[in-house]
Each structure stands twice: as C-alpha cells, then as structure tokens.
A and B are shown apart, each in its own frame.
Chain A
Amino acid sequence: MATMPASASDLLKSFKLKTKQQELLIRVSILCLVYILAFITRLFSVLRYESMIHEFDPYFNYRTTLYLTENGFYDFWNWFDYESWYPLGRIVGGTLYPGLMVTAVLIYRILRFLRFAVHIREVCVLTAPFFASNTTLVAYFFGKEIWDSGAGLVAAILIAVCPGYISRSVAGSYDNEGVAIFALLFTFYVFVKAVNTGSLAWSLASAFGYFYMVSAWGGYVFIINLIPLYVLVLLITGRYSMRLYVAYNCMYILGMLLAMQIRFVGFQHVQSGEHMAAMGVFFLMQVFYFLDWVKHMLSDTKLFQAFLRITVTSAVAVGGIALGLGMVSGYISPWTGRFYSLLDPTYAKDHIPIIASVSEHQPTAWSSFMFDFHILLFLFPAGLYFCFKRLSDATIFIVMYGLTSMYFAGVMVRLILVATPAVCLISAIAVSTTVKNLTVLLRSKNKVVQTGSTKGSGGSKSSSKALLDQSQPFQKNGAIALLFGAFYLLSRYATHCTWVTSEAYSSPSIVLAARGAHGNRVIFDDYREAYFWLRQNTPQDAKVMSWWDYGYQITAMGNRTVIVDNNTWNNTHIATVGRAMSSYEDEAIEIIRSLDVDYVLVVFGGVTGYSSDDINKFLWMVRIGGGVFPVIKEPDYLVNGEYRVDKGAAPKMLNCLMYKLCYYRFGEMMTEYGKPPGYDRARGVEIGNKDVKLEHLEEAFTTSNWIVRIYRVKPANNRWWLNRYKFG
C-alpha cells in the first residue's frame, strides 16, 4: 500500500516536462494556433458572401484550372483558347504561369485520392488561405534563421494577420500572388539558410523554390535581381566566402535551367535585360573565386595587386562589351515597360497608358501604407536599427529585402504585398528584441531581490520594491509600462487587422453589397445575372465586346467568346475596342462588324451609384484608343479639361457609343426621389443627352439594377435573314 503513492509520484515526475520541453511545447502550440489563425481570418469573405472566386484575374485562373482538371496537363500545356481575343485567340499554355493551377489541381487530386469528395472550386477558393498558413511557418523559420526563434514566432504572428498580405490572399482570391508570396519567402529563406551553412542541399532547395516561384508569378524577377544585388553587397563589404559561392552558383545555375522549363519564361534568363544582373554577378563570382585561388598560389602581395587590377579591368571590360554587343545585335532584349515603370514611377503615365490605367498600378498613398501595415510602419525602422546593430549575412539580406521592397511598394500599390513579409520580419525583430530586453530586465531584478532577501518573502512584490537597485530608479516600472505599451500596440494591431480584413478586403467585387434605407443589407448581384443570361440565352458562338476588365469574367462565367480580356497582351486590339467605344455609332458599327461582334456589354452605375463603371473608365478607353488611332483625341471629350456627362458635356462625348449604350433610355428613369428623370447617381448630375436613339444596336438585356447592359448588334439591312439564322 505504501509503495503505490511513491510510484504514482514517480510516474508524475516522469511526465513532468523539462523547461526545454515546455518551451518546445509552447512554441509548437503557438505555431499551430498561428497556422489556424492565418487560415480562418481569411474566411471572412466566405462568411460574409459565399465560397466564390473574386475579382477579375482569378476567374481566368479558375477557368484554366477547370480546363486542367478536365483535360489533363498536356492539353492544358498546348491549349489554344478560341474564346478570348477573337479573332486572334490566345496560346494559353505559353502565356501563363502554370504554378497556381498545377498546385490547385495537385491538392484536388490528393484530396480526391484520400476520398474527400471536394469540388475543384472549393480547392481554388481555399488555396490562397492555405498557402498563407504555410507562409507563416516559413516566416517562423526565416525569423529563426536571421535572429532567433522568438523573432520567428512574432514574425509568424505578424504575417498571419497583416492586411498587406491578406488583401491578396483571402478565400476566393485565387490569384498567382496567393502562392507566390509563399514561394518568394521560401526561396529567400532557403537561400539565406544556404548562405549561412554553405550546404549544397539547401541551395538546391532554393533553386527549386525559385523554380516554383517562376512557375507561379512574374514577380520572380524581384528574386533574380535581389539575390545578385545581395551577393554584390556581400562581395563589396568583404563578406565573400565559400558558403556564398556554393549557395549562389548552385541556386543560379539550377534555378535558371529549371526556370527555362516554363514556356512563358523560356530563354529570358539569358536573353532579357532584366535577368542580366544575375548573370553578371555569376561571372563576377567566378572572377572572385579565381582571384582567391591566385592569391592563394601567389605569395607576393605586390604581384597579386597588379594581377588583381588587370583581371578586374579585363573582366569588367569583357562583360561590358558582351552586354553591349548583345544589346546591339538584339540578342538581349532591352528592359520592358513594366520594369521601367517600377524604377521610374512616372514612366507608365507618359508611355504606356494601359499599365497606368490599372488602379493597382498607381503610386501608393500614405494612407494605404498605414492601412496595410499599421504599427509595422513604426516598428520597421526600429527593426532595421536592431539589424544594423547585429550585422550578419542573414540580417544584411533582410535589410536589403526590406529596403528595396519598400521602395517598390511606394511605386505601385500592389507591390505592398511583396514588401509585407520583409516588413513583418524586420518588425518582428524589433518587437521580439524589445520585449526580450524588457523581460530580461525584469527577471534580472527579481534575481537580485531574491539573492538579497530570504526565500519566503522573495515572492511578494511589495518587499522587493523596497530593495530595488537605487542606481536605476523606476527601471522596473518603466519596463512594465513599456511592456504594457508594446502589448497594447500589438493588440491594436490585431484589432486593426481583423477590422480591415472583414470590412475592406473580403469583398469579392462580383457581388456588391450596400446598406439599405433601413440598415438592412442589399445585394447587387448584377454581374452574375448578366453573365448567366449570356451563358443561357445567347448562341454558343456569340462574340461579346466589352472593355477588357470584364473579359475574364465573361469567358469564365458567361462562357462566351470575348474580343479583349485582362491579359492585355495586344495593345492594338484593345485600342480598337477603345476606338469603337469612343466613336459615333455609325463609325463604331464598322469596327464592330469587322470584329464580327454579336453583343456589346457595358457596365453602368448610374442607377445604383456604383462608381467604377465604364463611364468613369471611359477616358482611359479614349487614351488607349487614341494612343494607336490618332483620330481619337482626348480633348474632344473634355470641356475645358473637365470630364462631364451633363448638359455641358462635349458634343462628341454626348454622342459616342459608350455614352449612348450607358444612357440608352436612362432619360425616362427616375433614380432618386426629388431629382429629375435621368439623374445619374454615380456622378450626381442629370445627364445631358436624354434622347438616345440607337440605329445599329438594340437592347438585349439589362440587369435588374442596370449595372450591366447588353446590346445586340443588328445585322446590316441587306442581311436581315442573318437575324433569323443567328438568333431565331
């Protein structure tokens, strides 16, 4: 009987964890929680709306994924899409980054293999949150690599809820960025690990990470330029090592060879100006290695200096000549407009209106930095300070990553996304270090107190306070206050992130929600109404002309052929559509007939007050159209440089096709109580041309809130029988 309690306590003791095990347990459980948190915080969109694909580009990705599941990889790779860019078509397999689709289909196949009856749409909707969760894990390991596991944990938590990242990875946002940020961070992490260890295995992993990134997103150019830059900085600061040599060479050569397997990228790694930096640094590494070897062989310093001078000069000269020859012969293509517009924010506005017309390509406003980063914006410089205080190969990397991506984030709104992981990591270093210092301060005081007092009274705080070290007054109080302050800030951050996620970043933008007069939620589902109408009630081979924004959605949801879509690969084709929209009806009908268009679709927000409609986008159509066809002149549509649609509008504006299609029979419509008929709620004016007559087009369908209007192109007068043949 007496032995029993003893053995029981032994058993208990054996179960009692050591401090290290406790720490591991806490760390793993925090990571698990963060993993789950990162996933569920992105489900706001599903709860608020439904499990659906969002926005514009994701619809293309969804459509291709569907094609991939149905027809298999080889058909997908060779897919020529007749349903877009009519009559040109699009070689889909060679003009997309297949990483996202392949990933989704792989997940789908695995789930199917495990006998989970999921639909591919659900997989697509949840791909981004799933990869966001994985990113938190990578952030943890990355943080651990560059600082310590505490910083890693904080980084994981910060990145899990950071709005800058959530904006592109909510459930339903099935876009390349969703998996690409994971791939980006993974590549960086593994590369830093390779540099730190000099291990061939890690650099091989980084090559594969890079390959995945190339397959997923065009932003891989950032990696292939940042890593050489980083290597260059290490070389200049005299941190050249064998580790770096192994890591970079293996990553570059293998990564390049792998990346060439992606058809869309092809031989760009050896032919395009954007990738030349990496190649230059690669050759520079060889020169460095060679010099190192020569230095090792030569004992004479003087001789070596002379040799060094000659070698470096000739190497630079050979490199320069090769580059010059390549450029002149056209073998190396010059930088693209997109790349220029990154380095020079004003470039796109002057030269490529089609890039400048996209709202997410605009320079970032301060408010959106605040919105997306919140306290990280202040923690970022603090983190940089800590990084500089403890410089190592890894911290240099994160500093460079942070600074360059911050610059790009300032150039384009959408690149905030790329900066987010760096900002989170650097801020995590700041938070972790500060909290660590403060707690160390607190604990060390306790130790002093404990050694000074008896063991029994040591625990009570009132007694320990009296015995505080007099040389540093209020140090403990200050530390406690600072700790509270830090936790307060972090809790504000969490609240802000949740609020932003639920309010701003969870809207699918296909379905619009507004508050009704009685505070109830009103849903405008006009887009899908129109697309579904197209899908069900038009001939299978009908061609639909609309502005390119809606191209992907029409093909994916309406299942009809479009003239232009969001791929924007052919500027002339888009300009033709822009020209048709901005011409008079009888001029436009020529273009419409030459493009064999059956239906014209416009988006109109005048009834509901939806402001991102075609009338507000119209000036871009004029600009893009005018860029190719000088007949279209922007001043014709403006009055004293002002864009208006009311009575004072320019006559060309009042009679162009877009105006007519948007406002056809709108003059009879009462939109708001107390306002005259034909009152445009999106622009707050009474329209100028209420008597819109259409000659060659007729209204085919208008959605219940007028957001989408579809017009049928009447056959020419001498071809009336076509009407019966086509629509009968």
Chain B
Amino acid sequence: MEAWIRARVTLALTLFALLFFVSRSSPPRQFVISNAERRIDLSSHIINVHLTLKVENTGTRPASEVVLTLTPTEVDHLAMVDALAIKGKRKKTTSVRLEVKPTELPDAPPIDAKYFTIYLADPLNSGESTTLEVLYVFMHFLEPFPAEIAQSESQLVFYHDTALILSPYHIKQQTTFIKTPSTKVESFIRVEPTNRVGTEIKYGPYEDCPPYSISPIHVHFENNSPFAVVEELVQEIEISHWGNIQVTEHYTLVHAGARHKGVFSRVDYQSRQFSNGASSFRYLLARLPARVHSVYYRDEIGNISSSHLRTNSLKSELEIEPRYPLFGGWKATFVIGYGLPLQDFLFESSDDKRYLNFTFGCPLIGMVVDKLTIKVVLPEGSTDPSPVVPFPVEHRLEAKYSSLDVIGRTVVVLEKKNFVPMHNSHFQVYYTFNPIFMLAEPLMLASAFFMFFVACVAYIHIDLSIRK
C-alpha cells in the first residue's frame, strides 16, 4: 500500500517536472514519428511492449540514431530491449536486428528520463522514412493491489503507464492497445478517445503529440497467472572429458504476487481448486536438452518425489512439483541435476581449441530470473578460457576442487541480472585442453593402490619384533 502511494507520488512528480520542462524546452529534432502503435501484453507477470514506429527524417542531413525514452522506474524493471528494422512492403517484409544502447543525450531536457539509442543499419536520408519495431520486456512491473490476499481471493494488480508514448520526437498519430488476461478489469483511467472491448483497452488514436508529452493512466485488473520468480539461479556445468556433462541447478523460487494472508486451508484447497488459491501454483515445467540422463530433483532435506520426466529424441520435459503449493510470498528452494552426453555440447574449433556450446537460460519455462549465475567448470588442466555470450554479462574466473583434484579446476562464472525467457540463446566457452590430463586421476589411483600393495608386501616381509 505504502509502496504504491510512494510510486504514485513519484510518478506524479516526474510527470509535473516533465510537463514543466516540455513547455520550456523542445530541442529541434531531425525525426518525426508519423505513426506509432503500441501493444502492451499484460497477460502474465512478464510484460511485453511491442512498439511499431514509423520514423521520418525531416531534418536536412542523413541521420542514423533514433532515440527511445523510458522513465527511470521503467528502466529499473527493464529486462531487455530489442529493435528491428522492417524493410519491404506487405508480405515481403524482412526484418533486420538493430543495435540498441543506453545513451546520455547531450541536449536532453533536464528531466528524469533515460535514453536508448537505436543505430540504424543505413543512415536515413532527408525525407525518407522507415519502420522500426521495438520490443521492451519488463519484469516485476505489475503491482499487486491489495498487496495481501486471502486464499479464496483472486489477485488484482495495477499497471501504470502513460497513454501517450514518451518520446523526444513529435508524434503525428499514435495508438496504444493494452491486453489484459481476462475481462475482469476493476478500473482504468480514460484518456479520450478510449475504448474497451473484451480483454483489450484501446487508447487513441491521438493526433499530433509534441515531444515529451505524457498522460498518466493506470489499469487495475485481475491477473491470476503464476507470478513465479526465480530470485536466484546458480547453474553449474561441469565438463568431464570422459564423456559426460553434469549440470546442477540451484533454484530459489518465490511467488512474487500478492502476499498470502491468514489461513491456508487444505480442505478448501483440495475441494474447491478453482475458486481457491487461484493465483497460487503447484507445477513447474522444465525443458531439458534431449538425451538427458540421471535426472534428480531434491532440496536441502532430501529428495522430492513429485516429478515426472518425459523424454523423446528431440527434447526432454521434466515436470516438477515443489513440496507445497506456492502462495503469494511463499518460497521454495530446490536443486535439479542431470547428466548430458559430451558430444552433443562440446566441439573442437579450427584453432585447436575446444568449446562448449550451451543454452544460456533457465530451463523452467516462462520463468523470470532476478539473478542468473552460470558456472562452467572446465576439466582440470585446461587453460585460456574465454566465454562468448550474445548479450552483456559480467564474468570472472574461480577455482573449484572436485574429486581427486590437485590443482583445481578453472571455473568460468557468468552473471546476468533480470533474465527473461526471451534472452534464451546459446553461448560458448572456448578453452584449450591437453588430453594427457585425462589420465592424471586414473594414474593417481593406480599408483595409490600400487603403493598400498607394496606397503603390504613390505610389512609381511619385514620383521619388526624386538624379541628374537
């Protein structure tokens, strides 16, 4: 409740400031957005915003940098931003992925906003126009209100935004569509023309909006989709050149929706499944690579017996059930582990290096990860590790001692905050490894046994008694 008020106050202040500065300064821009369409999907707790912008260069010089604007709250919850340039007409469209980088505007108005710049592949000449598609993914952006609900209540959340797209450019025409998960909408602010049909609320079209114009709205609606959030996921990938990759994943799962309040009644939960605990969840689905073997699912106090594994030649699906259903604010920690055949993931590159090609992501489907740590444990004796990840991550090196290790194994640690399923992609870790190291451990064991037997033989043949 308090947080909500604070958020509202902040937003209002920001908007006042914005309006104030907007009226004072409007720096000349090269671009004009002739048409903008925004589709906001609120059906789960991961919010997708698709923005289609038709950008026109009205300046005199060719330009290639289009600026996007977001409020600081939005940036805090932004998991990813992606931009595509659409080329061609009608059915023959092709899309090109563009580079997006956070920037500081030198001539920005002194307002509280953050900027991202899209670098167009070819500069847009004066008078030309192009279509850009921008995807924003936000997490933790829906605010449960009321913040605490009882078992039989369903979960209502607030979504705050502005009916007008915040942009440094003049927008000639714009429309916003908000899609809610169900028709149950408690309230929403109208900014005429506003129209609500079924699960969709349409704001606009609005004509000729000056730069930095805004119009705050909120939507208060029912969202019972599981707000399952992995607070922390530590994935350890241990490579053994004897033919196995062992993956161990430590999860800290939390239900980030409205907090559960008061009684948990099993009788109600069992007998009235739909009206009770509508926002809680029991099952999770993990998609594992094909040919997975020796899968386990456990936590600190032992094995959890409620899981099913379905495998076929293309993929494996592991359906797991935490020990108890998760209501708002409830936590569960668990570990999933599995083995994979080495040849599916480890390859040799042309320059005599080896590389691991693995999915950067969380196997649990539709899961938001606040902090994802991937540890690639390279075999003992490997050198020069270098990770290749398609998006920026923090990385560092560690050492780990596993069974029979003497010098320790090199561990490449990759860390990514605010991870959403859209990030799922492959990454590579290159390293050099001399196969002779594979023999170190067997030789050690063999020599230890040899020494033992030699000691036995020696003991039998040596007379240690004092008396003769």
Q: Is B338 an interface residue (CB 8 A)?
A: no
B304 and A525: CB pair below 8 A?
Answer: yes
Residues of A within 8 A of B300 (CB): 535
Q: Which residue of A lies closest to B282 (CB)?
A: A704
Partner of A701, one of B264, B267, B329: B264
Q: Is A486 an interface residue (CB 8 A)?
A: no
Given contacts A50-B302, A533-B324, A536-B332, contact A115 B405 (CB under 8 A): yes
Partner of A116, one of B266, B331, B404: B404
Q: In the complex, A669 Cα to B269 Cα: how many Å? A: 12
Give residues 291-312 of B contacting A (CB, 8 Å): 299-306
B323 and A669: CB pair below 8 A?
Answer: no
Q: In the complex, A706 Cα to B270 Cα: how many Å? A: 11
Q: Is A702 an interface residue (CB 8 A)?
A: yes
Q: How far is the CB of A372 from chain B (nearest CB, A)?
A: 28
B262 and A532: CB pair below 8 A?
Answer: no
A537 and B331: CB pair below 8 A?
Answer: yes
Q: Is B48 an interface residue (CB 8 A)?
A: no
**0/1 interface trace, chain A 702-716, chain B, CB 8 Å (1 if under):** 111010000000000
Q: In the complex, A536 Cα to B255 Cα: how many Å? A: 12
Q: Is B403 an interface residue (CB 8 A)?
A: yes
Q: Is B401 an interface residue (CB 8 A)?
A: yes
Partner of A700, one of B264, B304, B332, B333: B264
**0/1 interface trace, chain A 520-543, chain B, CB 8 Å (1 if under):** 000101001101110111000000
Q: How far is the CB of A80 from chain B (nearest CB, A)?
A: 24
Q: In the complex, A153 Cα to B303 Cα: how many Å? A: 39
Q: Is B94 an interface residue (CB 8 A)?
A: no
Q: Which residue of A lies closest to B259 (CB)?
A: A728
Residues of B within 8 A of A117 (CB): 401-403, 405
Q: In the complex, A700 Cα to B266 Cα: how many Å? A: 9
Q: Is B436 an interface residue (CB 8 A)?
A: no
Q: Is A549 an interface residue (CB 8 A)?
A: no
Residues of A within 8 A of B302 (CB): 50, 52, 510-511, 528
A668 and B267: CB pair below 8 A?
Answer: yes
B331 and A536: CB pair below 8 A?
Answer: yes
A529 and B324: CB pair below 8 A?
Answer: yes
Residues of A within 8 A of B266 (CB): 699, 701-704, 706
Partner of A52, one of B267, B303, B333: B303
A115 and B331: CB pair below 8 A?
Answer: no
Given contacts A528-B323, A532-B299, contact A698 B305 (CB under 8 A): no
B264 and A699: CB pair below 8 A?
Answer: yes
Q: In the complex, A523 Cα to B263 Cα: how many Å? A: 26
A702 and B264: CB pair below 8 A?
Answer: yes
Q: Is A194 an interface residue (CB 8 A)?
A: no
Give residues 87-131 of A contacting B (CB, 8 Å): 115-117
Q: Is A445 an interface residue (CB 8 A)?
A: no
Q: Is A263 an interface residue (CB 8 A)?
A: no
Given contacts A536-B330, A668-B267, contact A523 B305 (CB under 8 A): yes
Q: Is B265 an interface residue (CB 8 A)?
A: yes
Q: Which residue of A lies closest to B404 (CB)?
A: A115
Tally chain B residues at the interface, Cβ within 8 Å.
28
Residues of B within 8 A of A704 (CB): 266, 324
Q: Is B406 an interface residue (CB 8 A)?
A: yes
Residues of B within 8 A of A52 (CB): 302-303
Residues of A within 8 A of B405 (CB): 115, 117
Q: In the complex, A116 Cα to B262 Cα: how many Å? A: 48
Q: In the complex, A122 Cα to B307 Cα: how many Å? A: 23
Chain B interface secondary structure, helix, strand, loop or mixed? Answer: loop
**0/1 interface trace, chain B 391-410, chain A, CB 8 Å (1 if under):** 00000000001111110000
Q: Which residue of A lies closest to B299 (CB)?
A: A532
Give residues 252-289 of B contacting A (CB, 8 Å): 262-267, 271
Which of B265, B323, B333 has the most A CB atoms < 10 Å from its CB? B323
A698 and B304: CB pair below 8 A?
Answer: no
B303 and A50: CB pair below 8 A?
Answer: yes
Which of A523, A536, A699, A706 has the most B CB atoms < 10 Å from its CB? A536
B401 and A115: CB pair below 8 A?
Answer: yes
Q: In the complex, A706 Cα to B267 Cα: how many Å? A: 9
Give residues 120-147 of A contacting B (CB, 8 Å): none
A702 and B333: CB pair below 8 A?
Answer: no
Q: In the complex, A665 Cα to B265 Cα: how many Å? A: 9
Q: Which residue of B lies closest to A712 (CB)?
A: B263
Q: In the complex, A591 Cα to B92 Cα: how many Å? A: 78
Given contacts A701-B264, A702-B265, contact A115 B406 (CB under 8 A): yes
Q: How far is the CB of A694 from chain B (nearest CB, A)?
A: 10
B330 and A537: CB pair below 8 A?
Answer: yes
Give residues 304-356 of B contacting A (CB, 8 Å): 304-306, 323-324, 329-333
Q: In the complex, A702 Cα to B330 Cα: how many Å? A: 14
Q: In the complex, A15 Cα to B338 Cα: how many Å? A: 49
Q: In the complex, A189 Cα to B330 Cα: how many Å? A: 56
Q: In the complex, A668 Cα to B402 Cα: how many Å? A: 54
Give residues 101-160 of B contacting A (CB, 8 Å): none
Q: Is A259 an interface residue (CB 8 A)?
A: no
Given contacts A665-B267, A669-B267, A701-B324, contact A525 B305 (CB under 8 A): yes
B303 and A536: CB pair below 8 A?
Answer: no
Q: In the complex, A117 Cα to B403 Cα: how many Å? A: 5
Which of B271, B303, B330, B406 has the most A CB atoms < 10 Å from its CB? B303
Residues of B within 8 A of A668 (CB): 267, 271
Residues of B within 8 A of A535 (CB): 300-301
**0/1 interface trace, chain B 370-394, chain A, CB 8 Å (1 if under):** 0000000000000000000000000
Q: In the complex, A529 Cα to B321 Cα: how many Å? A: 11
Q: Is A557 an interface residue (CB 8 A)?
A: yes
Q: How far is the CB of A728 from chain B (nearest CB, A)?
A: 8
Q: In the complex, A532 Cα to B303 Cα: how many Å? A: 12
Residues of B within 8 A of A528 (CB): 301-302, 323
Residues of B within 8 A of A50 (CB): 302-303
Residues of A within 8 A of B330 (CB): 533, 536-537
**0/1 interface trace, chain B 402-438, chain A, CB 8 Å (1 if under):** 1111100000000000000000000000000000000
Q: In the complex, A116 Cα to B441 Cα: how many Å? A: 12
Give residues 177-193 of B contacting A (CB, 8 Å): none
Residues of B within 8 A of A557 (CB): 301
Partner of B263, one of A510, A529, A531, A699: A699
Q: Which residue of B lies closest to A711 (CB)?
A: B263
Q: In the complex, A523 Cα to B323 Cα: how many Å? A: 13
A533 and B403: CB pair below 8 A?
Answer: no
A703 and B324: CB pair below 8 A?
Answer: yes
Residues of B within 8 A of A533 (CB): 323-324, 330
Given contacts A117-B403, A529-B323, A537-B330, contact A700 B263 (CB under 8 A): yes
Q: How far is the CB of A662 from chain B (nearest CB, A)?
A: 13
Q: In the complex, A645 Cα to B386 Cα: how many Å? A: 69
Q: Which residue of B lies closest to A531 (CB)?
A: B301
Q: Which residue of A lies closest to B303 (CB)?
A: A50
Residues of A within 8 A of B267 (CB): 665, 668-669, 702
B265 and A525: CB pair below 8 A?
Answer: no
Q: Which residue of B lies closest to A702 (CB)?
A: B266
Give residues 490-543 of A contacting B (CB, 8 Å): 510-511, 523, 525, 528-529, 531-533, 535-537
Which of B263, B266, B329, B406 has the most A CB atoms < 10 Å from its CB? B266
Q: How far is the CB of A604 from chain B (nearest CB, A)?
A: 11
Q: How far is the CB of A637 from chain B (nearest CB, A)?
A: 26
Q: Which residue of B lies closest to A694 (CB)?
A: B263
**0/1 interface trace, chain A 590-606, chain B, CB 8 Å (1 if under):** 00000000000000000
Q: In the complex, A511 Cα to B301 Cα: how many Å? A: 12
14 A-B pairs in the complex with CB atoms less than 8 angstroms apart? A52-B303, A115-B406, A117-B405, A510-B302, A528-B301, A528-B302, A532-B299, A665-B267, A699-B263, A700-B263, A701-B266, A702-B264, A704-B324, A706-B266
- Additional pairs, 14, CB under 8 Å, beyond known A117-B402, A535-B300, A703-B266: A49-B303, A115-B405, A510-B302, A525-B306, A531-B301, A532-B332, A536-B332, A698-B262, A699-B264, A700-B263, A701-B266, A701-B324, A704-B324, A706-B266
Kindly list the 4 A-B residue pairs having the minimum CB-CB distance in the complex, ordered from nearest. A702-B266, A536-B331, A50-B303, A529-B323
